[in-house]
Amino acid sequence: MKNTDPWRVPVVVLQIPESGLHREFEADPAERSAMAEIAGLREIISASASFDLVLKSGGRVHLTGRVVARIGQTCVVTLDPIENEIDEPVDLIFAPPEMIPDLSDLVDEAAESDAEIPDPPEPIINGVIDLGRVATDALFLAVDPYPRKPGAIFEPPAEAQDPKDHPFAALKTLRPVTQFEGAGKRAQRPKDGDSE
């Protein structure tokens, strides 16, 4: 069975100090290879993250930081291999699962007003926040689905200017025989005096 979370960096919420927690980590070659396969990338050359976690009221945790990566893709125009840089900021609130319905209601209320709409919180699963999963999600969201080599321009096939030059122009000169015309000719019988 394929591992859908190859980059794991669990942090136990109860072990986050009052002063907060700073974590920096990097994906190893096996983790990068597995992530590249999941994302359909040619390769992930490097991937690292730097996060700060701060405790908030009600058991919530505010996570901020960024994910930096270098990925190998294929240009959609030239099909040449290319490399792209990713530098994605992350700003999330995590909350115990039982609090999320109430917090989601606050998001819905903000959506109905002119207030800025906050993102709904992410769940804290079994008292743990997986920083690797957060970093993986941020990396995948930042991937350009249609990467292009610098200067590569897609040019559609040129249209024929003169309609007579169109490859199917000769077909317009053919007059189609309708079903009824064809049937009538088959059904006609020679009249008296006509030679067969």
Per DSSP, the residues of 95-158 read E-GGGHHHHHHHHHHHHHSSSPPPPPPEE-BTTEEEHHHHHHHHHHHHS-SS---TT----PPP
The predicted structure's pLDDT at residue 28: 97
pLDDT in tens, 28-80: 999 999 999 999 999 999 999 999 999 999 899 999 999 999 999 999 888 89
CA distance 34 to 29: 9
pLDDT surpasses 50 at 1 = no
Angle among Cα 90, 139, 56 to the nearest 5 degrees reads: 25
In the block, residue with structure tokens 């009538």: 184
| pTM above threshold 0.75 | no
pLDDT surpasses 60 at 108 = no
**Poorest-confidence range of 30-44, 115-129, 179-193?**
179-193
Task: For residue 41, give both structure tokens.
Answer: 């990338």
Task: Tell me the pLDDT of the chain averaged across its residues.
Answer: 82
